[in-house]
Structure 1
Amino acid sequence: MNVLTTAALGLAVFTGTLATGTAPALAEKHALIVSINEYAKDPWKLRGAVNDGKNIERLLRGPLGYRPDQIKELFDQAATRDAILSNFRSWLIDATKPGDEVFFYFSGHGYQQPDTNGDEEDGLDETLVAADAEPDGKGGVRNMIIDDEMELLLDALKDRKVTVVIDSCHSGTISRGAFNEIEGARSLPLIPEIDRPQPISSRALALHRAETTFVAQVPGRMVWTAVAPYQKALEESRSNPVAGVFTTRFVRGIIDKKADANGDGIVTNAELYAYVQKESDVYCKSLQACQAGLTPTLEAPTAQLPLPVTGGEALDAAPSASPSAGPATTPLSEPTLPPASLQNTATALLANDNQGGVQVEVLPSGPIRVGQAVRFRVTSQVEGSLVLLDANAAGELIQLFPNEHSQAQNRSNRIYANRPLTVPDSTYGFEFTASEPAGQGKLIALVLQDPIDLSVQVSQHRDLNPVAKPVDYMAQIAERLRRPWTQGATTRMTRWSMTSMTYTITR
């Protein structure tokens, strides 16, 4: 049987700012940056939001290719509710056309208020707190912008390529008392006249933690948020200058290419997402008071995950499903990549730490000759579910494990700590044989410590044949692995490990 042949991950290339679609030749770019330190009430004031806005401007004018006249800023007292809404309409909606790129950024306080139209399962609308927000004397806050309003504005940007980045949090009163207050949190501090008096039910809390982002992801729209629901976005209060934890890493990941996990000189959306999640988690663990975690989120069509953040053209791939909506539809077609591009795309999509100490080997070791029988051995220091992939020199991707033979023997896809798993083993009744073309391939092993359901993805590819639409397949796996884990006491990153190794086939 031929193995060491793998299916090409079709890399969708990207035109413009962090969002996909094929833009016309004369597509324009418009950005609106809203950053607020100076709130009307002293206890609400922040220190790093405006620095974040300036860093986002630097990012836009640098790698993302915006001209100064394509960027509008509303800082501090200029960022009233009316000013934010009117500039959104005039600058991002009325002044753009289908095919244009739109970028909206907000850094400041976020909050919650009781839902008024019944569209929130947890009974709460999320809000952006404008500079002129203040207690309304009735237990609430006036001059906030609720998520329903933002949805209507964003819906008016149909057929644009839209990126939304929110560096605030929307935990508000629902997390009040669950964790200690923390310095530099971008959620309104406890103020008696606006704090919610009634207790929060465990069901409402669970529904809130399971929500996705401030606004929904739809085709053509990417939504980045600094934290998951129930968490608090933070400023690095001891840094100079003070700035937001998330925005600092978001900008650094692109400008300094800190997010380039596979070292190919290109930062993809998947790599940036992995980087901001990892670095935010590291920062949180350095603070005793950061008990709720810091887990950035990204809502985007799966086809955008392998795209470079700074430019390119998208493939005709399917949008991702929302976490509750089931699997995404598959794309109509994917072009075949050169083998090296396939392998880089695979490692960029699935970039992650190897916290489980996973090792993968080809047996026998050393260069492999065409016609030679080979096996694969995976060892892990932790127990979990194993997915083993082969991106070969033919530009194909094959799911080596789990496969139909292990399934026929009623084996699960479990790998146990320090117990090597070999594919194929003696019970398979056949061997894998290296085949043409000669060249380099890459094995990729994923070990999932948390019980993540990948059955929709892996069950379709147990036949050891090349995956027909590898970009969509890999992107769906990546999207599922990067969702925040909400099943424990606190929200956190999902626990999984990734490692890869390069092998060579010779004649």
Structure 2
Amino acid sequence: MADFLSREGFDATVVCDPVQPTADRVRSELAKIVDATEAGDLSVIYLSGHGYRIPDEDGVEIDTWDEVFVCADGPIVDDWFRDRLWNTSQPASSMVVVVDACHSATSVLEAFPDLRRDRSPIVRAVRSTANYRLVLSACADEEVSLQQSPTVGSVVTNEMLGLLAEQRGRSYRELWTTLADLVPARFSAAGRPQLDTFGPDDRLVDSVAFGTTLRPI
């Protein structure tokens, strides 16, 4: 994924040790990206690993579960993403977050509880935010994402990169809608990829997937 983003013009950096990615290290590196993404910037965050669900302890989850991203020494709960990934981001900045993990649909969406009420559409939009945000997740909260093998990688990432290699210029909406049909059809045990878009309009979701600029108004 880092090689692909580099070819697309991003200053791509692998920030975590794939063998021992500690929760503190992941949180620290994500915070650096958020703080460095200024007005007019577009950043891409790619998280791939294990996802899990744990009982909600603070009583704010409609589905009674917290979704977590599992690190080598413990989980990062979705509440942290609300407080650090969303609530401290710079005005007029844009961000694409890809979460390729089990139970990932709302793993970074604690800031938007209304999305939990109806998860039926594959593409959901929230117009209440000034910044452009896009969350591309591998599956619904109750579903799992599959790994093809320890050396080959995950189903969703591999299928996504395959589609982009076949046809560059797909929008995020087109890419993820295609993946939502393709992945369950090819891998019966895999969940269905989800997409959530935030912002005043559809510029980001209808922009070229992983391009370095937004679609013109």
TM-score (norm: length of structure 1): 0.35
One-letter amino acid of the counterpart of residue 161, structure 1: S
- How far apart, CA to CA, are the structure 1 residues paired with 2:159 and 2:145? 13
Please give the per-residue CA displacement for 1:249-291, whole angstroms capped at 9, x wherever unaligned.
122222x1x3x4xxxx622112211221222022224xxxx2x
SS where residue 236 of structure 1 aligns? strand
Q: Which residue of 1 aligns with 2:138?
A: 226
Q: CA deviation at 1:80?
A: 0.1
Q: 1:113 aligns with which of 51, 54, 64?
A: 54
Q: CA deviation at 1:165?
A: 0.5
Q: 2:6 aligns with which of 61, 64, 68?
A: 61
Q: CA deviation at 1:208?
A: 8.5
User: Number of residues paired by the alignment?
Assistant: 195
Q: Which residue of 2 aligns with 1:87?
A: 29
Larger radius of gyration: 1
Residues 209 and 111 from structure 1, CA distance in 2 versus in 1: closer, same or farther, beyond 3 angstroms? farther
1:281 touches 1:295 (CA, 8 Å); kept in 2?
Answer: yes
Alignment of 1:411-426 (within 5 A): none
Q: Which residue of 1 aligns with 2:193?
A: 296
Q: Which residue of 2 aligns with 1:355?
A: none
Q: 1:163 aligns with which of 81, 91, 96?
A: 96
Q: 2:208 aligns with which of 283, 298, 308?
A: 308
Residues 150 and 272 from structure 1, CA distance in 2 versus in 1: closer, same or farther, beyond 3 angstroms? same
- How far apart, CA to CA, are the structure 2 residues paired with 1:66 and 1:170? 28
Structure 1: 4+ residue segments shifted above 6 A: none
2:203 touches 2:214 (CA, 8 Å); kept in 1?
Answer: no
Q: CA deviation at 1:211?
A: 8.1
Q: Which residue of 2 aligns with 1:236?
A: 148
Residues 275 and 145 from structure 1, CA distance in 2 versus in 1: closer, same or farther, beyond 3 angstroms? same
Q: Which runs of 5+ in 1 are unaligned?
A: 1-55, 133-142, 172-206, 317-507
- How far apart, CA to CA, are the structure 2 residues paired with 1:73 and 1:211? 34
Alignment of 1:423-442 (within 5 A): none
Q: Which residue of 1 aligns with 2:68?
A: 127
Is 1:247 the equivalent of 2:157? yes
Q: 1:278 aligns with which of 177, 181, 184?
A: 181
One-letter amino acid of the counterpart of residue 182, structure 2: E
Q: Which residue of 2 aligns with 1:103?
A: 44
Q: CA deviation at 1:315?
A: 4.4
- How far apart, CA to CA, are the structure 2 residues paired with 1:211 and 1:75? 35
Q: Kindly, what percent of the aligned residue pairs are identical?
A: 26
SS where residue 169 of structure 2 aligns? coil
Residues 313 and 221 from structure 1, CA distance in 2 versus in 1: closer, same or farther, beyond 3 angstroms? closer
One-letter amino acid of the counterpart of residue 66, structure 1: F
Please give the per-residue CA displacement for 1:83-135, whole angstroms capped at 9, x wherever unaligned.
1111222x213333222222211111111122132221111110000111xxx
One-letter amino acid of the counterpart of residue 225, structure 1: S
The Cα RMSD (Å) is 2.7
